[in-house]
Amino acid sequence: MKNKKNIVAIVPVKGNSVRVKKKNLTKFADSNLFQIKLKQLKKTSCFQKIIISSENKKILDYAKNNGFSTHLRDSYFSTSKVPMSEVYRYIASEIDGEYIAWINATNPLCNEYIYQSAVKKFKKISNNYDCFLSAVKNKQNYFYKNKPINFKRSPWPRSQDLKPLISLPFAISILKRKDMVKWGSCVGKKPFFYFLNPLVATDIDDQSSFKIAELLFKKKIFGLNKKKFIE
């Protein structure tokens, strides 16, 4: 497989949402999540094309006016009733490209440095994995169905000795387009985990995370210290 891979970035942006109403368009740090993400991506040079997918024509018009490609999504695939697998398959089937970088607008602290570094890393490791997933290590004591899953009750472990569980903030996922169509997912059987700083990876999923992310974004907590972005 050649090292020079053509990667098309897809940014799915719904006009409305359930848990945080219109979270992509609501005021966020004197802007909004959608415009912030486009501003970040405009500074990248690692994608063959960047496509904004939405059912909202105002979103698409803004994207076009700022030099991005667009995909008018069937409004059926922007409702909360549709399984995400169907959304993945539908959008991946609608666009061209060998590889897809699925990038959500809901990780506002993930900037152009994250994306450039992710693509660079992906090109080095892609022959050995079937997908590339942004990830976060969670070193806490976890239970499932009243049973500890990453520690023993006795002897009690030190927190630094806990085996971390891995979560996916979905800041960026890279895989073959045909695999996304086949799987209806970003996750394959042999993933490579691209570990991000947990704060940088903050994903907006509800009102609380919206407020936390906005506070972190305004404070510019990491400044220009890029070494703190990736673990």
| Concatenated DSSP letters of 74-131 | -GGGGSTTS-HHHHHHHHHHHS--SEEEE--TT-TT--HHHHHHHHHHHHHHGGG-SE
Residue 182 is assigned to a structural domain of this protein: yes
Q: What is the pTM of this model?
A: 0.92
Tens-place pLDDT, residues 34-91: 999 999 999 999 999 999 999 999 999 999 999 999 999 999 998 888 999 999 999 9
Angle between the 57-65 and 33-41 helix axes, to the nearest 10 degrees?
A: 30
Based on the structure, what is the number of domains in the chain? 1
Residue 161 is assigned to a structural domain of this protein: yes
Residue 154 is assigned to a structural domain of this protein: yes
Residue 193 is assigned to a structural domain of this protein: yes
What CATH number is associated with residue 204? 3.90.550.10
Nearest to 10 by CA among 60, 59, 52, 54: 52
CB of 169 within 8 A of CB of 136?
Answer: yes
Residue 175 is assigned to a structural domain of this protein: yes
Residue 82's domain spans which residues?
7-228
Angstrom distance (rounded) from CA 159 to CA 193: 22
Residue 117 is assigned to a structural domain of this protein: yes
Tens-place pLDDT, residues 157-205: 998 899 999 999 999 999 999 999 999 999 999 999 999 999 999 999 9
The answer on pLDDT for 225 being more than 60 is: no
Residue 144 is assigned to a structural domain of this protein: yes
Take residue 121 and report the two structure tokens written for it.
């890393």
Residue 1 is assigned to a structural domain of this protein: no
Take residue 30 and report the two structure tokens written for it.
């004197």
